[in-house]
Structure 1
Amino acid sequence: MLDLFNRDVSEIPVRPVRKLRGQVAGVYHAPGDDFVTRRINALELTFNGVAGDFHEGPTRRSGSREPWYKAGTEIRNERQLSIVSPEELAVVAERMKLPEVKAEWIGANLLIAGIPHLSMLPAGTMLFFKNGVTLKVDGQNHPCRLAGRSIAECAGLEDIRDVSLQFAPAAKRLRGLVAWVEKPGRIEADEEVSVRIPEQWIYP
């Protein structure tokens, strides 16, 4: 343990800030009591997230992703928006032997094209949209059976259980990101987005 304190910080490799550009290929909203979204023309964002959306709110209830809390504990909502990539969804569909996997089937709010390995963008990455909105990435959105079941039902497939089980391994590190609103406003379809990847290092 002492070696960690004695290690010179200059020995830890640090990757510099990087910038990328992409485009909003679709915006989606979940207006009811279900996470499945529907395509719309624009998203109205407040500090609480997408106005009227299933995941709107400054806080949320903890679940299986937070085993360190008792289920249902009120915690900050860092999952206000779900972001996916058309390029990654195409890979997931191919792995599942499906013609397609649509963003709305798995509850996405934003479909962003042109960002290589979007799901691997690190926590702290900032997304600057041309009309003024800023989102901050919390981390990867891990695939689950619930989303797999939604794919099967939305695609009209008979073997719902088998498809729901296929999704998690097929979409590992390809299921996109969750993010929260740092600067509210309006995001429109076809809008440009600038991505700022922060400095990165591996804690020794």
Structure 2
Amino acid sequence: MITRVKGIVRSLFIGAPGESLVKQERDFLQAEMDGFLGDRHASFERKAWGPGDKQRKGVIRRNERHWSAVSAEELAEISKEMDLSEVLSAGIIGANLCFEGVPSFSLVPRGSIFKFPSGAELLVEEYNPPCLDMGKALAAKCHTNSGRPIHDTAFAKAAQFSRGLVGVVEVPGMIKAGDDVEVIIYAPPLWVQSQENPWVTS
């Protein structure tokens, strides 16, 4: 049985090459086969950044990070956990898309598809873990309700399981703020589920 979830595109962001980690809000994004037009993460390949990546630093590899996405609900929870005076936007943490209405957003599995009215489709590659550089940037620019300083590791702790997703463009097309989105949750084919799999441990 295919699980489908409906949500909406809350907001969209783009970050030009050479700009800071922050991305700027836009009314629409044009998805091409190598990523979002004009975004610094658009490319068919990228360099591995070292510890935490799949290859040693500097290795040229396939770019599985055409886009990054978060949910409004999880951003609100992260902001609350950090005691922030303002709710984080997707752009301030470098994401391209902010969705609303998709439960347990960061747990959407690899292989799931986001489908948009234009025909554009985005494919989920993996969870996007929080990094220390982003935590340091947020600590320098955000404020708490209590007035206490924000520790560099506060974001990583608050967003440990809710930082969002990264993936690639499956089908090009335009994505607009306010668009409906259909999320087709990936599940292995029934013939795979019915087999004993030595590679999966409980």
Q: Could you tell me the TM-score, scaled by structure 1's length?
A: 0.85
1:164 pairs, out of 133, 145, 152, with 152
SS in 1 for 2:152: helix
Aligned ranges 1:9-20 → 2 under 5 Å = 16-20=1-5
SS at 2:39 equivalent: coil
Show CA shifts across 1:26-65 (max 9, x none). Answer: 0000013233101011101111101121111001111233
Which residue, 103, 122, 129 being the options, matches 2:90? Answer: 103
Match of 1:181 among 169, 174, 186: 169
Equivalent position to 1:117, from 96, 99, 104:
104
Q: 5+ residue gaps in structure 1? A: 1-15
Cα distance, 1:159 vs. partner?
7.8
Amino acid at match of 1:119: S
CA contact (8 A) 1:105 1:147 kept: no
SS of structure 2 residue aligned to 1:163 = coil
- Tell whether 2:179 aligns with 1:194: no
Partner of 1:28: 13
Q: Provide the C-alpha distance between the structure 2 equivalents of 1:125 and 1:170, rounded to a whole number of angstroms.
A: 25
Aligned 8 A contact 1:105 1:150 in 2: no
2: distance between equivalents of 1:181 and 1:154? 32
Query: Partner amino acid for 1:79?
Result: R
CA contact (8 A) 2:9 2:180 kept: yes
Give yes or no for contact 1:152–1:159 (8 Å, CA) kept in 2. no
Partner amino acid, structure 2, of 1:26: S
Give the paired residue count.
Answer: 187
Which residue is 1:128 aligned to?
115
Maintained 8 Å contact 2:15/2:23: yes
**Structure 2 residue runs without a partner (length 5+):** none
Aligned pairs for 1:72-87 within 5 A: 72-87=58-73
1:61 corresponds to which residue?
47
Q: CA deviation digits over 1:132-188, x for unaligned, max 9?
A: 11000001100111111222334268987x432111111011000001101011110
* Letter matched to residue 35 of structure 2: G
CA RMSD between the two structures: 1.9
Q: Name the structure with the higher helix share.
A: 1
What percentage of residue pairs aligned between the two structures are identical?
32
